[in-house]
């Protein structure tokens, strides 16, 4: 059994060592979700992924509290927010954010880009608690724009600053946007400003990460998506040195009332450090379906093939690991 860092402030000599160990959790979840989706039962696939991820996290001997978990009824969830793993009250405990089936809601027979199994482990108390806030307006971008974007500015002004930071014309920008009816006005504003829009039906986390990685083909991500996914993305983006900005943006009256009752400010824009207060994070994502960020699970003559992205605060850059396994 792999033992993680002995405290939230203390890491093993190689920060990537623990992140490599976390890969077992995302790989197991991705394989389980992929198998369920092939049988045409998304609900069963999500349950299988959650069970596989929880089993592997417990095998790692990890202590902590799940800050972000499955967005379903807590009584039915295997990874509900608030779940304690190990001794969650110890000084060695961590904040954990997990989504075994991110981006699979609109999966079709041919698959959908950018679906991931993902987990983040961060120092205790460092991750933003979404509470009842399900939706968040977001901006994600590369290191060059960190601290330069005014989130309250009009879309055209944001794109002008982004283009200036990246030393390219606005017409050369590509903005990742989730393909949702709520984004019609945003898409029109981006196009009026002269930038290109890359529409995707799902892939909240993948889009934000691509925006933070120079040369990915995505210059920024804009629009409203999940708050839990925002926490996961912000943690990884912070470790990469990129920019993440978010504002709680309820989409339903019931959510709005719950957010107000919780005393959450829907006008305040949260920065990267507000969402993930420490860069000492361990992030691992494994592709479920083929996407722009990672390849999905695939059957090959050498066994089941997976591809994972690893990011560890304190370790330079990022790693992409392709693995084959035989059952």
What pLDDT is attached to residue 201? 87
Rounded to whole angstroms, the Cα distance separating 221 from 16 reads 27
Residue 222 backbone dihedrals phi, psi, to 5 degrees: -135, 155
Spatial contact of 296 and 305, defined as CB atoms under 8 Å apart: no
> Does 72 or 248 have the greater pLDDT score?
248
pLDDT band, residue 9 (cuts 50/70/90): very low
Per-residue pLDDT reduced to its tens digit, 103-123: 877 655 445 578 899 999 999
Distance of CA 223 to the CA centre of its chain: 15
Percent of the chain having pLDDT more than 70?
91
Is the pLDDT at 158 greater than 90? The verdict is yes
Domains along the sequence of the chain with CATH: 15-124+280-325 (3.30.540.10), 135-275 (3.40.190.90)
* pTM recorded for the entire structure: 0.90
Per-residue pLDDT reduced to its tens digit, 296-316: 999 899 889 999 999 998 777
Length of the chain: 327
What pLDDT is attached to residue 181? 95
What pLDDT is attached to residue 1? 46
Q: Which of 111, 116, 75 is nearest to 97 (CA)?
A: 116
């Amino acid at each position: 059994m792999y033992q993680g860092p002995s405290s939230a402030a203390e890491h093993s000599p190689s920060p990537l060592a623990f992140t490599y160990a976390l890969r077992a959790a995302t790989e197991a979840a991705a394989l389980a979700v992929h198998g369920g989706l092939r049988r045409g039962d998304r609900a069963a696939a999500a349950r299988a992924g959650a069970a596989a991820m929880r089993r592997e996290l417990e095998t790692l001997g990890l202590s902590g509290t799940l800050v972000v978990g499955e967005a379903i009824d807590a009584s039915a969830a295997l990874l509900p927010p608030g779940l304690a793993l190990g001794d969650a009250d110890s000084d060695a405990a961590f904040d954990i954010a997990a989504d075994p089936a991110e981006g699979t809601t609109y999966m079709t027979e041919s698959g959908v880009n950018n679906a991931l199994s993902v987990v983040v482990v961060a120092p205790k108390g460092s991750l933003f608690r979404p509470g009842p806030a399900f939706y968040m307006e977001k901006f994600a971008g590369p290191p060059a724009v960190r601290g330069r974007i005014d989130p309250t500015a009009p879309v055209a002004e944001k794109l002008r600053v982004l283009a200036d930071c990246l030393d390219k014309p606005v017409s050369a920008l590509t903005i990742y946007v989730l393909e949702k009816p709520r984004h019609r006005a945003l898409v029109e504003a981006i196009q009026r400003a002269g930038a290109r829009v890359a529409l995707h039906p799902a892939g909240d986390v993948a889009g934000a990460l691509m925006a933070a990685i120079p040369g990915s083909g995505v210059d920024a991500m804009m629009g409203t998506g999940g708050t839990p996914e925002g926490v996961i993305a912000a943690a990884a983006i912070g470790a990469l040195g990129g920019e993440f900005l978010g504002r709680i943006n309820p989409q339903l009256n019931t959510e709005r009332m719950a957010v107000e009752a919780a005393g959450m400010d829907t006008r305040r824009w949260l920065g990267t450090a507000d969402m993930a207060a420490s860069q000492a994070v361990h992030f691992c994502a494994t592709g479920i379906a083929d996407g722009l960020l990672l390849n999905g699970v695939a059957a090959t003559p050498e066994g089941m093939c997976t591809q994972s992205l690893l990011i560890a605060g304190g370790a330079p850059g990022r790693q992409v690991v392709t693995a084959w396994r035989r059952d």
